[in-house]
Amino acid sequence: MRILLVQLADIGDLVVTTPALHALRLALPEAHLTLLTTPHSVPLVQGAGLVDEIVTLDQTALDRATAFFRPANMRRVLGLGRYDVVVFFHHFTLRAGTLKYALIALASGARRRIGLDNGNGWFLNERVPDAGFGAQHQARYWLDLVALLDADNHPRQAMVARDAYDLPAWNGPRVVIHAGSGAYSTARRWDAASFAVAADVLHQQQGAQIILVGGSQDDSQQVQATMQAEALDLTGATTLPQLADVIAQADVFIGAESGVMHLAAAVGTPVVAIFGPGNPDAWGPWNPGGQTVIVRSLPVCSPCSYVGHGMGLRHGCAARTCMRMVTPEQVVQATQAMLTGEPVGATMPESAAHTPAFPRRVTILGMPVDAITYPEWLDMIKQWVSAPDATAHQVCTTNPEFMMIAQQDPNFRHILQRADLCVPDGAGLLWAANYLGSPLPQRVTGSDGVPIIAERAASEGWRLFFLGAAPGVADQAAAVLREKYPALQIVGTYSGSPAPPEEDALVAMVNASDADILFVAYGAPAQDKWIARNLPRLQVRMAMGVGGAFDFIAGVLPRAPQWMQRLGLEWLFRLYLQPWRICRMLRLPRFVLAVLRRGRG
């Protein structure tokens, strides 16, 4: 039997595919296995006994479907030969990009075409359902694929080629640090200065030898320049098999999500992996039975890449807050625990569980909307404020415009899907819920919610902070509410902006105020993104984006008459006052059409 195995991706992708290759080799020792992979990944498997033949193809050569018809590329693909089976170790994320794999399947002549199917695998005739990135680890997906060829799909260690590398003698533990993330996404990198702090502490407190590894585009030089101790710098000095041997001789490996991290897990070295925008449920270190710790800060918007069936934000967001919130102390704590054999603390969860705060929820266009009333919301806020823990909760005031933005903005979509509460702020949502047979009890808006919460806060003693809007508007809104509710405690107001350089100072200001509730008026989706990425370090109990609520309360912008609000025509009044909103308002008919066509999905 001739089997073509297709893995045209990066180093880490091939490493987590090797458990499946090994299982297939054991199940079909007489089969001829050909691996189609990228040139730079070949040293990882060459000589490892996993396959009989390796054929390389630059993964960028077929990035465009039309590139297949270039003579050089056509000769390369058509020259693969004839096969009985072809197995694709890929998610078919983009429909256009999937065509190149269909062309490879056609060129192979294989009667059995095996792969994951998320609806785009039309050319496959044997399928494993693709539940999306993170539904299970990538290595498990690939083991399930080869199980269709009678291979054992139980978890097994990855296998990579190793070439002996002699390290100088050292009387103490060795810690390998990779200050990079590969070329695919620099958003996954941890700050070089933070690596240096962690390295110095481990050298001073544990007597650890620090070994820096990686390539010329990684941050090893910056780490060494910032460190007080002298590190052994092997950056660019090893082949991939030699690098595997260097890491195998270490007591702990520290690094962000990268192919080198996967290499460390493959050789069985305990791994401290730093994650931010990446999805650890899909791409965490694969080391069955071994020691791995994933250190992450868990903002609401993380992970933002490779979630569900989409690529998401490959390059993360401009703020990179999720990586900045990971501290050297967390990394040192995890590493020291591994070196001393102590249990690793529970402050570094390996996955984010986003459990809705309210039990009744409706799904519209894939977005959640909570079937909540104002009294129920106020009771929930009271529980949050009086809870013994200091957990901060995000509330989104979801409306049809939010939902249409989220269709094109994966980061905003993830935030809405993970927020603690999504109140139905928009008459269009009430119509959609009724149309779908799951009516909502009432419209619950941010504009009305702020004064309603302020009234309850005055009697309960909750402390409020107003952030955002134009300069002076938050002060005016605070003055209006204080006059109406004399006992109300508004402990801070500030305009500022959602710009990343400002957020550290803004978070410090809010926390210093000892506020219980934070209202943010930067407009959607900027305000919701700001809250989501900073929520883990905010010491409030509830944070909510409120759009133009401060303008309404301060009298800068009048609200629609009550009769228009009752009829769900407030949007028309806003359009009358602000004609420039016409482009935004065009999302409303698009929302109606989308609900009629797609419903809940």
Rounded distance between C-alpha atoms, residue 339 and residue 172, angstroms? 10
- Report helix, strand or coil for 310: strand
Residue 581: predicted pLDDT: 66
Mean pLDDT, rounded, for 166-189: 92
Residue type, 212: L
- Phi and psi dihedrals of 281, rounded to 5? -65, -25
Whether 218 and 207 have beta carbons less than 8 Å apart is answered as no
- DSSP class per residue in 449-497: HHHHHHHHHHHHT-EEEEEESSTTHHHHHHHHHHHHSTT-EEEEEE---
Largest CA distance in the chain: 85
Residue 154: predicted pLDDT: 97
Among the listed residues 247, 238, 239, the one whose alpha carbon sits nearest the alpha carbon of residue 265: 247
Rounded distance between C-alpha atoms, residue 126 and residue 113, angstroms? 6
Rounded distance between C-alpha atoms, residue 160 and residue 44, angstroms? 5
Whether 132 and 308 have beta carbons less than 8 Å apart is answered as yes
Query: Where is pLDDT greater, at 601 or 575?
Result: 601
Rounded distance between C-alpha atoms, residue 421 and residue 361, angstroms? 9
* Chain centroid, CA 429 distance in Å: 27
In angstroms, the Cα distances linking 85 to 5, 23, 50 are 8, 16, 17
Share of the chain above pLDDT 90, in %: 82
Q: Is 136 exposed, middle or buried (0-12, 13-18, 19+ CB in 10 A)?
A: middle
Alpha-carbon torsion angle 15, 17, 18, 24, nearest 10: -170
Question: Cis peptide leading into 303, omega within 30 of 0?
Answer: yes
Query: Where is pLDDT greater, at 145 or 341?
Result: 145
Mean pLDDT, rounded, for 134-145: 97
Query: Where is pLDDT greater, at 59 or 171?
Result: 171
pLDDT per position as a tens digit, 204-257: 999 999 999 999 899 999 999 999 999 999 999 999 999 999 999 999 999 999
Residue 566: predicted pLDDT: 75
Per-residue pLDDT at 263 exceeds 60: yes
pLDDT per position as a tens digit, 411-450: 999 999 999 999 999 889 999 999 999 999 999 999 999 9
Q: What domains are there in the chain, each with its CATH number?
A: 2-147 (3.40.50.2000), 174-340 (3.40.50.2000), 361-570 (3.40.50)
Residue 569: predicted pLDDT: 72
Among the listed residues 162, 464, 134, 436, the one whose alpha carbon sits nearest the alpha carbon of residue 283: 134
Residue 68: predicted pLDDT: 60
Mean pLDDT, rounded, for 461-471: 97
Whether 301 and 322 have beta carbons less than 8 Å apart is answered as yes
Tokens 């013994």: give the residue.
388
Residue 348: predicted pLDDT: 42
Per-residue pLDDT at 93 exceeds 70: yes
Rounded distance between C-alpha atoms, residue 490 and residue 563, angstroms? 31
pLDDT per position as a tens digit, 333-357: 999 999 998 877 544 444 455 788 8
Tokens of 571: 């949007």
Weakest-pLDDT range from 374-388, 444-458, 572-586:
572-586
Rounded distance between C-alpha atoms, residue 528 and residue 544, angstroms? 7
Q: How many helices (H) and strands (E) are present in the chain, helices listed first?
A: 24, 22
Per-residue pLDDT at 550 exceeds 80: yes
Per-residue pLDDT at 9 exceeds 90: no
Confidence of residue 67 (pLDDT cuts 50, 70, 90): low
Q: Is 42 exposed, middle or buried (0-12, 13-18, 19+ CB in 10 A)?
A: middle
Q: What is the DSSP letter of 312?
A: E
Mean pLDDT, rounded, for 119-142: 96
- Phi and psi dihedrals of 115, rounded to 5? 180, 180
